[in-house]
């Protein structure tokens, strides 16, 4: 739904309410580019059970889908760069001083994610770019070049069909073990300017068509973060100083729209009250031992009881206890 208010000089966009909702008892997973990490961390900070970008930041659809469905490692993609070992299907945060150490780390990560997906309710996928790099050594698509010289890779644009086929294969296998699993796709609102202005728009348009076509099948839907950023917030004041990434204000706005789309009134009410508790807990008193502050701590401790039926509050309770005399 679109609301135009001439006094605000902007067009506000309200996404449709989702056919399913997420709650504190659901297991969620985010994967993909920076927006997945941002939403995932917001969910995590607000006590949702969520696995946030377990493979690190991944931008292209083929690599994202491959990681979602992976149960083994491609041995040919281990590389040594500057005395450290990396894998071309994974982010640079996964590294080891030798191949065996890295292999063990990655196998454990794949098993963790695979087990989590058997119980998860929703996977939030953010697609960053339709451009990919292929390693010339075997023409395999890579998720990360790990600062290997660019001459060892070729760059190209993915086709709609190969992206669709890649996801459908993964979807079939995941739904076999978790029939109720939902997928929510988003096109990243972060512009890939390094590809070029024209090229970025071409890439994003392909990703948007992909999301539309995938959402015509069951258990796949779309959250319009890209459209909200490009049309509702179409002003550079909503960007960080790099003029590429959404500002904190824009991230807050997108988070609000996300809540309205996927959370019930009751869940949002709990989140609103929990925000007040978080603000109170982050307060730094001038005199921690004063009678007023000690009373304040006890009051906050009592308020925590209300939230115990929704999520674990032991961490916050311990934080308060440490400050009490």
Domain CATH number, residue 143: 3.40.50.1110
pLDDT band at 1 (very low <50, low <70, confident <90, very high): low
Question: Both 208 and 291 in a single domain?
Answer: no
Mean pLDDT of 117-122: 98
pLDDT tens, position by position, 144-193 = 999 999 999 999 999 999 999 999 999 999 999 999 999 999 999 998 88
Question: Both 259 and 269 in a single domain?
Answer: no
Neighbouring-strand partners of residue 84: 81
* pTM (predicted TM-score): 0.91
For the cut 70, the answer to whether the pLDDT of residue 4 exceeds it is no
Phi-psi region of 10 (alpha: psi -120 to 50; beta: other; left: phi over 0): beta
Question: Both 135 and 274 in a single domain?
Answer: no
For the cut 70, the answer to whether the pLDDT of residue 2 exceeds it is no
Question: Both 202 and 242 in a single domain?
Answer: yes
* Domain edge (last residue) among 263, 283, 313: 263
Question: Both 205 and 308 in a single domain?
Answer: no
Domain ranges, residue 161: 2-263
Which among 2, 11, 14, 7 has a CA at the least distance from the CA of 254?
14
Question: Both 26 and 81 in a single domain?
Answer: yes
Question: Both 53 and 130 in a single domain?
Answer: yes
- pLDDT of res. 40: 96
Question: Both 169 and 316 in a single domain?
Answer: no
Question: Both 238 and 310 in a single domain?
Answer: no
Question: Both 286 and 202 in a single domain?
Answer: no
Question: Both 90 and 200 in a single domain?
Answer: yes
Neighbouring-strand partners of residue 187: 127
Higher pLDDT, 322 or 185: 185
* Domain edge (last residue) among 227, 247, 263: 263
pLDDT tens, position by position, 269-315 = 999 999 988 888 887 777 777 888 888 888 888 889 889 899 999 99
Question: Both 173 and 50 in a single domain?
Answer: yes
Look at the chain and report how many structural domains it folds into: 2
194-200 contacts at long range (C-beta below 8 A, 24 or more positions apart): 195/129, 195/131, 199/131, 200/129
pLDDT tens, position by position, 229-258 = 999 998 888 889 988 888 999 999 999 999
């Amino acid at each position: 739904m679109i609301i135009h208010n001439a006094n605000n000089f902007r067009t506000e966009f309200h996404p449709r309410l989702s056919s399913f909702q997420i709650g504190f008892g659901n297991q969620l997973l985010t994967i993909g580019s920076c927006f997945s990490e941002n939403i995932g961390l917001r969910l995590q900070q607000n006590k949702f059970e969520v696995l946030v970008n377990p493979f690190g930041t991944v931008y292209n659809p083929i690599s994202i889908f491959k990681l979602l469905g992976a149960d083994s490692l491609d041995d040919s993609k281990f590389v040594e760069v500057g005395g450290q070992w990396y894998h071309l299907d994974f982010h640079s945060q996964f590294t080891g001083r030798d191949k065996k150490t890295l292999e063990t780390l990655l196998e454990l990560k794949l098993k963790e994610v695979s087990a989590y997906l058997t119980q998860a309710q929703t996977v939030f996928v953010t697609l960053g770019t339709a451009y990919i790099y292929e390693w010339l050594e075997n023409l395999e698509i890579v998720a990360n070049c790990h600062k290997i010289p660019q001459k060892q890779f070729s760059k190209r644009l993915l086709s709609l069909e190969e992206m669709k086929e890649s996801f459908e294969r993964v979807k079939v296998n995941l739904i076999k073990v978790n029939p109720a699993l939902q997928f929510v796709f988003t096109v990243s609102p972060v512009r890939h300017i390094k590809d070029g202005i024209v090229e970025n728009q071409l890439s994003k348009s392909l990703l948007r068509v992909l999301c539309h076509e995938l959402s015509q099948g069951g258990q796949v839907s779309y959250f319009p973060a890209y459209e909200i950023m490009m049309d509702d917030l179409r002003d550079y004041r909503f960007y960080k100083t790099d003029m590429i990434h959404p500002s904190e204000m824009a991230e807050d706005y997108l988070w609000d729209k996300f809540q309205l789309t996927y959370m019930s009134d009751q869940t949002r009410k709990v989140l609103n009250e929990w925000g007040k508790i978080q603000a109170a807990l982050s307060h730094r008193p001038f005199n921690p031992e004063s009678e007023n502050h000690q009373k304040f701590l006890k009051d906050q401790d009592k308020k925590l009881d209300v939230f115990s039926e929704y999520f674990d509050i032991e961490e916050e309770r311990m934080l308060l206890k440490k400050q009490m005399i």
